[in-house]
Every structure is written in C-alpha cells, then in structure tokens.
Amino acid sequence: MERAACKMKLLPGYAEEYKRRHDEIWGELSELLREAGIYDYSIFLDEETMTLFAVQKRRADHRSDELAGKDIMRKWWDYMADIMETNPDHSPVSVPLREVFHLD
C-alpha cells in the first residue's frame, strides 16, 4: 500500500458545483479507479485559497499511471475543465506533495 497526495486549484465560485459533480461521480469512473488499484480517495477544499488537496491510498501493484489513457478519465477531465485549473489536455493541474509525517 502507498499513499499519494497532490494539490489542485478550483476556480472561485465553484465549490458547490465541484462537490455536486463528485457526489454524482460516474459509476464507470469509480470502477476504473478501483481497477487501477485506488481503494481510498479523498479530496479536501481550502475555501480561502480554493486549493484542493487530494489523498489516495493505492495497492502496491496499482496502475494509476495508466488512467490518463482511458476514455472515461479523459471524459471526466473534459467535464471538470470549466471549474478548475487545467492543462491543455484538460487534465487538472496537479502538484504532487511529499509526505513529511504519518501517524498510524
């Protein structure tokens, strides 16, 4: 098992819309994430800065690096591109974070 964290940026005024879209996450996307080895995934929002903080727990044999090539992932990115900072391919601008402390 490994943990991975990153930060992303939500555009101002879209906190409720972001939450709504994730409350209604597509079943096929959830299944794809699970199949890739992600079994625990949380996203938090700092409403002062509109920074999203995502944490994933992944199996040791995860294939999360393959997600970008999947049609449903790219469709989700297109769906979310109007409310968050994205790269030219609509993937979220995501900055990996280094773990500096963990308590079990």
Per residue in 39-84, pLDDT tens?
Answer: 999 999 999 999 999 999 999 999 999 999 999 999 999 999 999 9
Active site residues: 22
Q: In the beta sheet, which residues pair with residue 5?
A: 55, 97
CA pair distance 3, 104, nearest whole angstrom: 12
Q: What are phi and psi of 93, to 5 degrees?
A: -65, 115
CA pair distance 65, 12, nearest whole angstrom: 29
Enumerate domains of the chain plus CATH numbers: 2-97 (3.30.70.100)
> Could you write out the DSSP letters of every residue in 1-49?
-EEEEEEEEBPTT-HHHHHHHHHT--HHHHHHHHHTTEEEEEEEEETTT
Rg of the chain (C-alpha set):
14
Report the pLDDT value the prediction gives residue 104, as an integer from 0 to 100. Answer: 87
Q: What pTM value is reported for the model?
A: 0.92
How many Cα atoms within 13 Å fall on the side-chain side of residue 12?
2
